[in-house]
Structure 1
Amino acid sequence: MSFLGFRRYPTPIVKPLWPFAAASLITFTLISKAQDAAIRSDAYKNDPRNPYREQLAREDASAHH
């Protein structure tokens, strides 16, 4: 019997949404790896629009020593 529209057991919310959470995690990870690879590529490493240009230059300088 329902009381004001509430059922005895709550409707599951998390259980049917686990594929979307897993897909979101996979998508976030893959896009992050693609962005990191693009930022570190030779074509964009010295581009003035690259916000990580100085950081990459410091990493390259420390890696050569």
Structure 2
Amino acid sequence: MNQYFTTTQGAITRLMKLKRELGGALMSTTIVGRRKDGREVSGLQAVLLNARNGQLACFVQASTMEE
């Protein structure tokens, strides 16, 4: 499991890289983000959207292979 704390631009860059790298393998990877208001968002698209809106505090990437 990897947890990321970075700038908004850094988060967007990392999430876009994950999106390209994972391609069709999203089923084996879980991405969960925590918004600045404390709410949790799940899924790459939702986390990326919140990062672009500047609402993301951090996110976690976990592979089912690691668990």
TM-score class normalised by the smaller sequence: under 0.3
For the pair shown, the structure with the greater C-alpha radius of gyration is 1
**Higher strand fraction (1 or 2):** 2
TM-score computed with the length of structure 1 as normaliser: 0.27
Larger helix proportion, structure 1 or 2? 1
- For normalisation by structure 2, the TM-score amounts to 0.27
